């Protein structure tokens, strides 16, 4: 809640950050580095959590969800992290929301024959919904 968000690619500034997401060229959960932009990166939900079936290459969003999603859901719901409610919701949110972000961010088409993941909307459409309507008297795009 009191975190300062820094948008930078400057390695010196990144070195001083507690958590780095989507920049820095490093995936190291022990040091809270969650980037997927390395040529050698090929992690999926299944490779990090063998109990999960999804093989879509993770984006930084998927990495953060993989490592913290269940903990966050458990806290919001007041349920045990390994309980059936959190497990079911974690899986549904990944399958119907996060996996699409992972795939799109990594340039993976929804199908090469049989669909690989459900396409319920697009990331661009989601961002667009945050913009003010054309006739909204307050046109501040930063609010969304």
* Per-residue pLDDT reduced to its tens digit, 7-33: 999 999 999 999 999 999 999 999 999
Q: What is the pTM of this model?
A: 0.79
| pLDDT of the chain, 144 residues: tens digit per residue | 788 999 999 999 999 999 999 999 999 999 999 999 999 999 999 999 999 999 999 999 999 999 999 999 999 999 999 999 999 999 999 999 999 899 989 988 877 777 777 767 777 777 778 888 888 888 887 777
User: How far is the C-alpha of 117 from the C-alpha of 1, rounded, in Å?
Assistant: 33
Q: Give the C-alpha distances (Å, rounded to integers) separating 139 from 26, 123, 127, 132, 143.
A: 38, 21, 15, 6, 9
């Amino acid at each position: 809640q009191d975190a300062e968000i820094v948008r930078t690619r400057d390695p010196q500034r990144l070195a001083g950050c507690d958590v780095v997401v989507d920049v820095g060229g490093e995936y190291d959960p022990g040091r809270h580095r969650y980037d997927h932009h390395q040529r050698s990166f090929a992690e999926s939900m299944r490779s990090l959590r063998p109990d999960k079936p999804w093989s879509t290459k993770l984006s930084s969003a998927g990495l953060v969800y993989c490592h913290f999603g269940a903990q966050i859901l458990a806290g919001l719901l007041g349920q045990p992290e390994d309980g059936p409610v959190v497990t079911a919701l974690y899986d549904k949110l990944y399958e119907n929301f996060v996996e699409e972000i992972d795939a799109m961010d990594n340039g993976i088409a929804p199908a090469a024959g049989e669909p690989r993941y459900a396409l319920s909307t697009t990331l661009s459409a989601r961002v667009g919904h945050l913009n003010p309507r054309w006739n909204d008297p307050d046109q501040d795009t930063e609010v969304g």
